[in-house]
Structure 1
Amino acid sequence: MTHTEPLTARAALPADLDEAAHRCLVAGFDGTTAVPDDLKRLIDRGLGGVILFTRNIRDADQVRGLTDSLRALRADLLVAIDNEGGGIGHLVTAGAPEVPGNYALGVVDDPALTARCADALAGHLASLGITVSYAPVADLQVQADNPIVRTRAFGGEAGVVSRHLRAWIEATEARGVASCAKHFPGHGGTLTDSHHELAVDPRPYERLDLEPFRAAIAAGVPMMMSAHVVFPALDENRPATLSRRILRDLLRLELGFDGVLVSDALEMKAIADRYGEAAGARIALAAGADQVIVAVADLGVTLECRDAVLGALRSGTLAEERVREASERVRGLAERYAEPSVAVRAWDPGVGLEAARRAVDGQAARGGARGAHVVDLFPAPHPALNWGGEDLLTEMRALDPTATGTAVSGEPEDAEGLAGAILRRAGRAPLIVATSDSGLYPWQGRVAEALMARRPDGVRVATGLPEGGALCSYGRGKANLRAVAEVLVGAR
């Protein structure tokens, strides 16, 4: 669908202010080669950036062609993507390096190794013409039932997370790629996924997880991303993304961050359901954000957000000096990062598996499971994070073609009945039972218990956070699963 831009939008504001307002937007879009007409018009008006998703990715040559086409329209356009590693990313079909998630890196606790993993990811981005990475995660995993941070965090201890943030940020910067610490001032203390509803962190100020963000600032991180989380100790009325007390008073004035502050995606239900994307864009910029992300492919939503910002400027409810300040920060970022590297030096393609192996190696060896029947229990992939659904059986069979198995990615109607059917298929083969954060998904625990009750010789594996002594991969990225499969079959 093509949206007609109101003629009054350009006429009502000075051209430079109109451009400044557009520079404060980051847009998602659909397509892998052709640039949509609405997006071309936004870029012509000064759009600050675009964000790519799996829907925009086919292969490496196609991505580089797409980013070249975008910059041919505007040389200082920032091209961004979520690229955390550990299976959380959108570039699998474009040859993304396989690195374990942050939690595994924190378990190894070798910042030099973390830097090598970050270098591989950033080098790959630079080769594709992508120069903004919305990573690393600076949150702490401090709430056992947190549904969204978990193995995306480097850990639950501020010192560990801080030193790995520094390593990641410095390695990414060395590649000429902008990193972005997220989600300020921390998403790890919540019990809610802000993709689905508004999250609240009820802790007092002195217990909030600010130390990693201080470390990121000290490391020179050029961008931060806000959290759609309410912190009553800071502002009882608004989530951080929309709070002047948090974005200006805390982040700018108290912590001294002078880089670009970008919102998390406005279509997330924590903002969209309560405020609406358009109002969210206007309020976030007024509160102190420099850019707002509208990640949905429907550019009509981006245009609605843009029109809300322009309307607020015309009415005076959004101060002109606030938008010009934000625009200048984005302009400065673009001067540093918008132009991708022409020649990209090679990165280490094996560093991710090395890191994943080191995370697993500190545990007891469980070799001898050749010919096993693997039961892999895991939740459906999170659509926003785009974990690709990698499974343990695939990695086991790559090492041992005689392995068989069952993958279950959703709650069964009858856990006992499923367990019985699995055991009949397994016969006398060694049994491996893997769960992924079964505390959050009790159906996994019910199936696992039913299996282990009848086969106490079975080997338990955890592919999320650690679970009661089970052999743990610390994540479901391909490298994580390959490393734990090697231990199970005795391949190393």
Structure 2
Amino acid sequence: MSRDAAALALQVQLASFAGPSLPPAWADLLAEGLGGICLFGSNLTGSLADAAALVGEIRAARPDALVAADEEGGDVTRLHAWEASPVLGAGVLGAVDSVSLTRRVGAAVGRELAAVGIDLDLGPVADVNSDPDNPVIGTRSFGSDPALVARHVAAWVAGLQSTGVAACVKHFPGHGDTDQDSHLTLPVVGASIDVLRARELVPFAAAVDAGAAAVMTSHLMVPSVDPALPATLSAPVLALLRDELGYDGAVVSDALDMAGASAARGIPEAAVLALAAGCDLLCTGPDKDAGLVRQIQTAIVAAVDSGRLPLSRLTTAAARATLLHQGVGKGGARCEEWSLEVSEMVAAARRACVVEGPLPDLTGARVVSVETEANIAVGPGRWGLVADLTVGGGDPLPTGSLVVQVRDAHRRAEVTAAIAAHPGPLVVVEWGWPGPRTGWERAPHARICTRGNGQPSIAAVTEILGEAGWSR
């Protein structure tokens, strides 16, 4: 294979291995020039010291390797998955609508990532959650109003990047108006180009103006722009970002192992198409074998040799990816005055809570978690109060006074049927998107909508329930 193309084909990959230590084969790939590593839940133990040690292993293999992670706050955390995020998530921040608070949360996330050596954060989410049945965005979004989402995306980016950690705003051109998950299938956004410009693109324009170091694509169809290929693989869709929004930073693909990108064509071919469309850094998802990096490298070189992929496009992509390695201003002195107290976050989380109906006397009430599968982006981990009992999504609720914890109950008929059938007293705590009380409209139960998970929200709900007599 062409030596230049082979080297570049490694530089444009952001890959991930399995487990909490760097395997020898991956150390070899890094030494040879692999662009970077994305750390997922399987790589992180919940210990910041372990995270820093793992980053140290990666940097020992290649000092200028890019190290990335999904650390959005709220529902999506990799560093704190087993204890819940210590900071507010986007849904809470949008409900409170304090740009200052959002900026300081972004800075808090950045300081922690910088402390363990992670230099690219795959966040914030810039999707406008206009479909309440969205199974993968929901409370990861700042809200359903484009202007509100835009101002908070800009603030979060400013806070994060003040610490020297690069932001990767996602998921272009917008994953909010879907009721399917691109991890599992290929969603379609049926909006016209005029609606896209007035809704989906507004937060991304704000991110560009805020100097976001990177933008991540989404694996969904946008027929009004390109009826043939999903956004990650579509030059016309990415031209909206480059030409219409004037963005010249790095474009990162969402994970190419997701069904929306590769189910119909395989990961190596999806990687070639993504580069050809305008992506600069190829993310391939968690727990992969080192052989996949080689397969992608071989496919890229073959595409260059055959003329399908211009060498100039690959060279440009590698140059943009390399700029991310250099950070966005190391040091972080500009954010020192942006203090953020736990009590302030708990108070904000409480303001974001919507309490529907008077709470019954909860003295002696048991906490029941209704266990439903978390979306893949959130993954496993701590959510809500520590439960006295866990039941499945289709199981009847036990009798007696209960606090019932759910996630996106409005999307799950079996969960709402169990809620409707319970005679009470019952308080439903909705940790997901605050959808309608579909299926239990006539039930007398009270409901608390938190707008997302996280330690501040857990503390706020504990306060609210405690005022009605509940105690652990």
1-side partners of 2:355 and 2:384: how far apart? Answer: 22
Which residue of structure 2 aligns with residue 480 of structure 1? 457
Alpha-carbon displacement from aligned partner over 1:126-173 (angstroms, at most 9, x marks no partner): 111011100000001101221111111000000110111111000001
2-side partners of 1:222 and 1:362: how far apart? Answer: 39
Equivalent residues of 1:378, 1:444 under 8 A apart: no
Amino acid in the other structure paired with 1:461? V
1-side partners of 2:331 and 2:23: how far apart? Answer: 22
Which residue of structure 2 aligns with residue 228 of structure 1? 219
1:180 to 2:168 alignment: yes
Which residue of structure 2 aligns with residue 406 of structure 1? 389
**1:251: how far off?**
1.0
Which residue of structure 1 aligns with residue 440 of structure 2? none
Q: Given the superposition, is the C-alpha separation of residues 392 and 93 from structure 1 closer, same or farther in structure 2, using an over 3 Å criterion? A: closer
**1:458: how far off?**
2.7
| Residues 59-208 of structure 1: pairs in structure 2 closer than 5 A | 59-92=47-80, 97-208=85-196
1:32 to 2:25 alignment: no
2-side partners of 1:119 and 1:407: how far apart? Answer: 36
1-side partners of 2:345 and 2:373: how far apart? Answer: 24
Other structure's SS at 2:429 match: strand
Equivalent residues of 2:216, 2:253 under 8 A apart: yes
Equivalent residues of 2:119, 2:327 under 8 A apart: no
Equivalent residues of 1:96, 1:121 under 8 A apart: no
Which residue of structure 1 aligns with residue 372 of structure 2? 379
Amino acid in the other structure paired with 1:269? A
Which segment is superposed worse, 482-491 or 21-30?
Answer: 482-491
Other structure's SS at 1:250 match: helix
**1:13: how far off?**
2.8
* Percent pairwise identity: 34
Which residue of structure 2 aligns with residue 444 of structure 1? 415
1-side partners of 2:310 and 2:192: how far apart? Answer: 32
2-side partners of 1:215 and 1:229: how far apart? Answer: 22
**1:368: how far off?**
4.9
| Residues 344-423 of structure 1: pairs in structure 2 closer than 5 A | 348=340, 350=342, 351-360=344-353, 366=359, 368-394=361-387, 405-412=388-395, 418-419=396-397, 422-423=398-399
Q: Given the superposition, is the C-alpha separation of residues 303 and 176 from structure 1 closer, same or farther in structure 2, using an over 3 Å criterion? A: same
1:50 to 2:37 alignment: yes
1:267 to 2:257 alignment: yes
Other structure's SS at 2:326 match: helix
2-side partners of 1:114 and 1:338: how far apart? Answer: 20
1-side partners of 2:13 and 2:341: how far apart? Answer: 34
2:433 to 454, 465, 470: 465
Equivalent residues of 1:367, 1:489 under 8 A apart: no
Other structure's SS at 2:160 match: helix
Equivalent residues of 1:375, 1:432 under 8 A apart: yes
Which residue of structure 1 aligns with residue 267 of structure 2? 277
**1:317: how far off?**
1.4
Which residue of structure 1 aligns with residue 443 of structure 2? none
**1:478: how far off?**
3.5
Alpha-carbon displacement from aligned partner over 1:369-405 (angstroms, at most 9, x marks no partner): 23212333242223442241423344xxxxxxxxxx4
Q: Given the superposition, is the C-alpha separation of residues 160 and 220 from structure 1 closer, same or farther in structure 2, using an over 3 Å criterion? A: same
Amino acid in the other structure paired with 1:304? Q
Alpha-carbon displacement from aligned partner over 1:21-63 (angstroms, at most 9, x marks no partner): 2111101012323x22322232223221110012211222221
**1:233: how far off?**
0.3
For structure 1, the 5+ residue unaligned runs are: 1-8, 395-404, 413-417
Alpha-carbon displacement from aligned partner over 1:323-350 (angstroms, at most 9, x marks no partner): 11111111222223597889x9696461
Q: Given the superposition, is the C-alpha separation of residues 57 and 459 from structure 1 closer, same or farther in structure 2, using an over 3 Å criterion? A: closer
Other structure's SS at 2:215 match: strand
1-side partners of 2:433 and 2:19: how far apart? Answer: 36
For structure 2, the 5+ residue unaligned runs are: 438-445
Amino acid in the other structure paired with 1:382? N
Which segment is superposed worse, 270-279 or 328-337?
Answer: 328-337
| Residues 234-313 of structure 1: pairs in structure 2 closer than 5 A | 234-247=225-238, 249-297=239-287, 298-313=289-304
TM-score by length of 1: 0.86
Amino acid in the other structure paired with 1:407? T
2-side partners of 1:319 and 1:150: how far apart? Answer: 39
Other structure's SS at 2:72 match: strand
Equivalent residues of 1:234, 1:245 under 8 A apart: yes
**1:316: how far off?**
1.9
Equivalent residues of 1:227, 1:241 under 8 A apart: yes
Other structure's SS at 1:190 match: coil
Equivalent residues of 2:84, 2:454 under 8 A apart: no
Which residue of structure 1 aligns with residue 442 of structure 2? none
* Residues paired across the two proteins, number: 453
**1:204: how far off?**
0.8
TM-score by length of 2: 0.89
Other structure's SS at 1:141 match: coil
**1:273: how far off?**
1.1
Alpha-carbon displacement from aligned partner over 1:431-468 (angstroms, at most 9, x marks no partner): 333432122111110010011xx22x433332222244
Equivalent residues of 1:138, 1:186 under 8 A apart: yes
Alpha-carbon displacement from aligned partner over 1:227-279 (angstroms, at most 9, x marks no partner): 000000010010000001111x2111111111100000000111221121000
Equivalent residues of 2:114, 2:165 under 8 A apart: yes
2-side partners of 1:119 and 1:169: how far apart? Answer: 9
Equivalent residues of 1:97, 1:352 under 8 A apart: no
